[in-house]
Amino acid sequence: MTDLPWLLPPALQAPLFAGALCAAALAALALAYVLRKLQSMDRLLVAGWGVGGAVGIGSGWWASQILALLAVGPAASYRGDALFAGWVMAVTAALAVLAVAAVLPAGWRRGAGVGVVLTLALALVLRAAVAAPALQPLPALDDDALVYTALVGFAPCLFAALLMTGVWTPSVPAAIRRAIGGVLLLTLGVGLMQVSGIMSSQVHAADAALGDMLLPPPSVLRMAGGGVLAVLMVLLSALIDVRSRGQTRELAASLRDANRQLEQLAFRDPLTGLPNRLLFEQRLQQALDTVGRAPSGLAVLFIDLDGFKPINDSFGHAAGDEVLRQVGQRLEALAGERDTVARVGGDEFLLLLEQPEDPGAAAALAQRTLRALHQSYSLPNAVEVSLSCSIGIALFPQHGPMAKLIPNADAAMYAAKGVGGSTFALFEPRMDMDMRDQVELQRDLRLAMERGELQLYYQPKVDARTSEITGAEALVRWQHPTRGTVTPQVFIPIAERFGLIGALGAWVIEDACRQVREWLDEGLSIRVAVNLSVHQLRHDDLVPRIRRALLHHDVAPRLLSFEITESVAMEDTQATLRAFSQLAQLGVLLAIDDFGTGHSSLAYLRKLPARQLKIDRSFVADLEHSPDALAVVDAVVSLAHALGLRVVAEGVETQAQRDLLLGLRCDELQGFLIAKPMAPKSLALWVMEDTPPAKAEFQAKLWADTVRSPLH
């Protein structure tokens, strides 16, 4: 037995040894990635990465051993059968390493098992590679040399396996650092095993012919390059996988952001970030489920600001919004961890106090709230203002079930406001909306429809791009003979409470159709929008009543549109769907009003045969100084256009708001910047006065398209 001859000059050994180490490093890097993938995939993907990874990793090991043999140049030619057998051995060894990693449980057992099998696999691959040179007698790595070689590489291979299999469950940055450490250790181990193995190789007498297929070193070098290419393919697949997973994470993050925005839209007030009425009622129900029927189980405080409107009117909406934000912050500071603060209206807030310590806790909280909200507020223009508030308190179960708590707290708040405000009141049965005054108002309202005290005013809507009038919204006004102007905010709830909303709604529809006919006779074709309440939607005679009004005044259905708020649409979805379907068959235009303030699902919205969405004025008011409001309006416009709906923005008061809405591709605008609500004659003059060519062309087209009612 003689030593293996060394034929290549030492000056040419270094580049090939460097190539051998590079191939070993690439194979180690591929092994680290595949081991990581095997821990977090289903069986099909594990099999795919396992087989593909084994071919690439084994090819890299085989190429590294061949390059190391070429560096020492033990022969002028190499045996093709031995080279192929060595490659098969390398792929099989890599597959065995990956199989052990996939079978053993996570932890140090997996790391140790992989380390032992990895060491043995590399030693066997080296043993097969040493037999490739075409020498006579044959070279070989005997058993003693094999054991010696395995011992030399065992420590770095073991620690490399422990690092690569993630024994310590590190964070992502730590995992990357450990993977790099494992690659370096494994590369070191392969290099040590190659040097010790080749130097320990001996030649033995051959007992068989060498075979006919002998390959020169250049051909063997090209084959080694093919092995390196195979492992590079595995690494390229890993790179593509990493990029794909990165894109998937970005998409998942985008979806999370979208869900958060939708949650904000559905459950949060966009101005203050506080819960809205829907979320407040959910938490109220949860609190009631928790406290049961315990005395003073919880309290609801209804808070309304005194003197907010003058601040809003004098200093502008931006100043008013800033005051509302500061009010929300102060209320949150007063509330406990389990309590809930919500904004439910323009300057109205609700506070849910869960399980107060004593019956006087709610009153004490109301007193602290009065003091906190009475402190001055800093406006954006450095002006400081002060205001007060009125608070109503309703306790559970003393003041009724859940459905009555908020209304009763509201009634108590009005009682506090009725004595001058800046105080609080605990609910009493007599406060249930001061029945005497309510009865008088409902009686007067019945007479108002007969006496002609009600009148419709009209606020125009125009095309955002051309400023052409697209229609007008009908707004009812009540001029009481002794009370003066009674706002819809006062008499509409009374009409709903005393069953007058049907008659009032019918009067509005009838008068709107009459006015459309009057304008048609004057040569004006203006579409009129009428608001519908949930009570009207529940009446079976709604559609027949509208049909009769259109027939009576000979008005085409296309000149009448109906708006229903998003919250009303969601209050009784079946009634809404039924009424909308019948109205759509009638031929009138349908719109969802105050969109964004309610909680509607896209699936439900798609079912409604609406043709317009009206963005709530609160979002429009915040456009100039709230990126969130801008994002919400942009999302609503995109959503509406995707569903084939036109978008109307109401409450447009500044040129800046108009420009932003135009940039967001809003279709129609409505608000004081365009025109205030006006009497019918004033609207006719507004339309006809100084009519620009575009508006004149639009009116002519609308008139030409208007035909006799098809209802005859």
pLDDT band for position 301 (50/70/90)? very high
Is 277-432 a CATH 3.40.718.10 domain? no
Q: Distance from CA of residue 278 to its chain's centroid?
A: 19
pLDDT band for position 702 (50/70/90)? very low
- Do strands 340-343 and 298-306 pair parallel, antiparallel, or not at all (unpaired)? unpaired
pLDDT band for position 706 (50/70/90)? very low
Tokens of 145: 């040399």
272-282 mean pLDDT: 90
Tell me the per-residue pLDDT of 91-124, one tens digit each, with 9 for 90 and over. Answer: 888 887 877 777 777 777 777 777 777 777 777 7
Tell me the per-residue pLDDT of 391-427, one tens digit each, with 9 for 90 and over. Answer: 999 988 888 888 889 988 988 887 888 677 889 999 8
Contact call for residues 617 and 650 (beta carbons, < 8 A): yes
- Facing residues of 268 across strands? 275
Task: Indicate the domain borders of the chain.
Answer: 2-202+214-242, 277-432, 452-683
Q: What are phi and psi of 565, to 5 degrees?
A: -70, 155
142-158 mean pLDDT: 71
Q: For residues 57 and 164, give the distance between their C-alpha atoms in angstroms, rounded to a whole number.
A: 15
- Do strands 668-670 and 646-650 pair parallel, antiparallel, or not at all (unpaired)? parallel
Mean pLDDT lowest among 246-255, 393-402, 445-454, 456-465: 246-255
pLDDT of residue 275: 92
Q: pLDDT > 90: what percent of the chain?
A: 22
| Residue that the structure tokens 């708040």 belong to | 413
Does the structure show a pLDDT above 50 at 698?
Answer: no
pLDDT of residue 13: 63
Q: For residues 476 and 472, give the distance between their C-alpha atoms in angstroms, rounded to a whole number.
A: 13
Contact call for residues 502 and 536 (beta carbons, < 8 A): yes
Does the structure show a pLDDT above 70 at 73?
Answer: no
pLDDT of residue 172: 53
Q: For residues 275 and 286, give the distance between their C-alpha atoms in angstroms, rounded to a whole number.
A: 15
Tell me the per-residue pLDDT of 29-64, one tens digit each, with 9 for 90 and over. Answer: 888 777 777 766 566 666 777 777 778 787 887 777
pLDDT of residue 391: 95
351-358 mean pLDDT: 80
pLDDT band for position 181 (50/70/90)? confident
pLDDT of residue 693: 41
Contact call for residues 683 and 458 (beta carbons, < 8 A): yes
Buried b (16+ CB within 10 A) or exposed e, 579-604: bbebbeebbbbbbbbbbbbbebeeee
Contact call for residues 272 and 347 (beta carbons, < 8 A): no
349-361 mean pLDDT: 82
pLDDT of residue 365: 92
pLDDT of residue 511: 93
Does the structure show a pLDDT above 90 at 361?
Answer: no
Instruction: Examine residue 137 and say whether the peptide bond preceding it is cis (omega within 30 degrees of 0).
Output: yes
Is 452-683 a CATH 3.40.1410.10 domain? no
583-589 mean pLDDT: 90
Mean per-residue pLDDT of the chain? 78
Does the structure show a pLDDT above 50 at 694?
Answer: no
DSSP 213: -
Tell me the per-residue pLDDT of 435-452, one tens digit each, with 9 for 90 and over. Answer: 567 768 888 888 888 888
Does the structure show a pLDDT above 80 at 630?
Answer: yes
For the chain, give the number of residues: 712
Contact call for residues 587 and 615 (beta carbons, < 8 A): no
Q: What angle separates helix 217-267 from helix 80-103, to the nearest 10 degrees?
A: 30
Tell me the per-residue pLDDT of 494-544, one tens digit each, with 9 for 90 and over. Answer: 787 667 888 888 999 999 999 999 999 998 999 999 998 877 776 778 899
pLDDT of residue 162: 74
- Do strands 560-565 and 528-531 pair parallel, antiparallel, or not at all (unpaired)? parallel
Contact call for residues 266 and 604 (beta carbons, < 8 A): no
